[in-house]
Amino acid sequence: MDPHDSPEEAAFRAEARSFLTAHAKPLPSTALAMSAIVAEWSADEEAQRLAEAKTWQRTKFDAGWAGIAWPTVYGGRAGSVVEELIFKMEESEFDVPHDALVVGLGWCGPAVMQHGTAEQRDRFLRPLLSGDEVWCQLFSEPGAGSDLAGLNTKALRDGDEWVLTGQKVWTTFAHHADWGLCIARHDPSAAKHRGLTAFMVDMQTDGVEARPLRQMTDSANFNEVFLNDVRVPDHLRIGEVGDGWRVVISTFMWERFNAVGGSLRVIDALADLIRERGAAADAKVRQRYADIYSRAGALKYTFLRLMTALSQGRMPGPEGSVMKLAATDLLTDVFDLALAVMGGDAQGYGGDAPWEGEWHSGFLGTPGMRIGGGTDAVQRNIIGERVLGLPKDLRVDTDRPFSEIPTGA
Instruction: Considering the candidates 90, 255, 358, 385, report the single residue annotated as catalytic.
Output: 255
**CA dist., res. 398 & res. 409, Å (int):** 19
Closest by Cα among 91, 71, 101, 92 to 16: 91
Is 255 known to be catalytic? Answer: yes
Nearest to 165 by CA among 176, 153, 179: 153
- Coil vs helix vs strand at 201: strand
Strand (E) or helix (H) holding 138: strand 135-138
- Separation of CA 50 from chain center: 16
Q: Residue 347: which residues within 8 A CB-CB, separation 6 or more?
A: none
The 3-state DSSP class for residue 206 equals: coil
Inter-residue contact 373 to 255 (CB < 8 Å): yes
Q: How far apart are CA 386 and CA 80, in angstroms?
A: 27
| Beta carbons of 184 and 141 less than 8 angstroms apart | no
Using CB atoms within 10 Å of the CB of residue 100, give its burial: 0 to 12 exposed, 13 to 18 middle, 19+ buried. Answer: buried
Report in angstroms the alpha-carbon separations of 185 from 139, 199, 358. Answer: 11, 11, 40
Report the alpha-carbon distance of residue 124 to residue 147 in Å, rounded.
29
- The catalytic residue positions are 255
